[in-house]
């Protein structure tokens, strides 16, 4: 197990380094001058030269990459050209709203995906199965921005039921100010008992969470259906049926737990994908998280911020894959031998 873990950690490190180098090179090839963005349109040549030296833009590309990785090892992810603050500090400030959004989305996806997969497997080949499979394919394949616009039109413009921007009503900052501990309004309002903010924050969370939950729902529903059908064909389930147990007990008691094992292993990967899927969704719903920060960085050609967000997402992806690999290797020793 130790050798397998070391091998996986080394591969994970190579992946992160490769992703950052590729992003670094692409960012340098994109038309635009980070020094001009930092110094402003009225900067003199001397000021531009000083900014280039401060940002390391006067160095060869390999030297810039080496300088960046040296800074990362010391906790310095660069300084944002757009905000003029440390990139790592910006990312840490933007992560809590994104985590709140992604956790809510995955909870919705699991809450609806698992029962839908069970219904689909229970009536395989029937009308419920066909409906669940169509909805699952639709949820996985529909672009997030298109689904977001549809939900905004239906629930805000037509029905006037849900808000479409921000984390909660800003007027509540004057009538019911929120004490922030986690920078997650739903969590902080629960901790402090601020029910006015909680109701507003929960209503603001619904639409963006539904958009991001579409992909986890589709993946989980299809995976539960396939796993359940595979489990039902195994000998122990056939023996249970032969003993006269009702179908409800067969599905819910004897086949459900084995069928959920692949779902548990894929949750980490779904979380990482959902984290990336917030980029455009947060911009549409004006959600102050990592996604809107990345969108603003791309729009302003903020190279340090773009590379920092890429590094963070790459680390999350690699750690998610690593956790899944370790869990699977611990459950099935045959994986460690491959």
- Dump pLDDT digits (tens) for 96-135: 999 999 999 999 998 999 889 888 888 888 888 899 999 9
What are φ and ψ of residue 310, in 5° steps? Answer: -60, -45
How confident is the model at residue 203, as a pLDDT? 93
Q: Is 159 helix (H, G, I), strand (E, B) or coil?
A: coil
CATH number for the region 100-287 comes to 1.10.3720
How confident is the model at residue 258, as a pLDDT? 67
How confident is the model at residue 333, as a pLDDT? 57
Tokens of 74: 């010391």
Positions of the chain with pLDDT lower than 70, given as ranges: 1, 4, 30-33, 36-37, 39-41, 43, 232, 235-237, 240-241, 243, 245, 247-261, 327-338
Nearest to 72 by CA among 114, 124, 23: 23
Q: What is the pTM of this model?
A: 0.81
How far is Cα 214 from Cα 220, in angstroms, rounded to an integer?
10
Asked if residues 230 and 141 have their Cβ atoms less than 8 Å apart, the reply is no
How confident is the model at residue 58, as a pLDDT? 74
Nearest to 55 by CA among 31, 89, 90, 27: 27
- Dump pLDDT digits (tens) for 163-222: 888 889 889 988 888 888 888 999 999 999 899 999 999 999 999 999 999 999 999 898
Q: Where are the domains of the chain?
A: 1-82+300-338, 100-287
Q: Is 86 helix (H, G, I), strand (E, B) or coil?
A: strand
């Amino acid at each position: 197990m130790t050798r397998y873990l070391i091998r996986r950690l080394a591969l994970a490190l190579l992946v992160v380094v490769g992703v950052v180098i590729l992003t670094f090179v692409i960012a340098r090839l994109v038309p635009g001058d980070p020094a001009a963005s930092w110094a402003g349109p009225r900067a003199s040549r001397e000021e531009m030269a000083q900014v280039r030296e401060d940002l390391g833009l006067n160095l060869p590309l390999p030297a810039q990459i080496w300088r960046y990785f040296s800074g990362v090892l010391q906790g310095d992810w660069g300084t944002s050209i757009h905000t003029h603050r440390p990139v790592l500090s910006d990312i840490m400030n933007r992560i809590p709203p994104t985590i709140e959004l992604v956790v809510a989305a995955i909870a919705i996806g699991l809450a609806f995906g698992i029962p839908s997969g069970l219904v689909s497997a229970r009536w395989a080949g029937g009308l419920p199965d066909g409906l669940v499979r169509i909805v699952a394919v639709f949820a996985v394949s529909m672009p997030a921005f298109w689904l977001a616009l549809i939900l905004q039109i239906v629930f805000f413009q037509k029905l006037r039921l849900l808000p479409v921007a921000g984390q909660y009503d800003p007027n509540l900052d004057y009538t019911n100010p929120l004490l922030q501990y986690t920078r997650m309004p739903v969590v902080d309002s629960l901790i402090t008992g601020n029910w006015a903010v909680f109701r507003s924050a929960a209503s603001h969370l619904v639409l963006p969470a539904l958009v991001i939950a579409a992909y986890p729902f589709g993946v989980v529903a299809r995976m539960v259906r396939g796993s359940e059908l595979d489990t039902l064909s195994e000998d122990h389930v056939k023996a249970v049926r032969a003993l006269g147990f009702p179908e409800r007990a067969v599905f819910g008691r004897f086949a459900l737990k084995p069928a959920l094992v692949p779902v548990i292993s894929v949750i980490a990967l779904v979380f990482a994908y959902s984290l990336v899927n917030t980029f455009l969704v947060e911009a549409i719903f004006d959600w102050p998280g990592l996604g809107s920060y990345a969108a603003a960085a791309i729009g302003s050609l903020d190279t340090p911020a773009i590379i920092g967000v890429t590094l963070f997402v790459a680390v999350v992806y690699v750690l998610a894959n690593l956790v899944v690999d370790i869990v699977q290797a611990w459950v099935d020793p045959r994986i460690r031998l491959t």
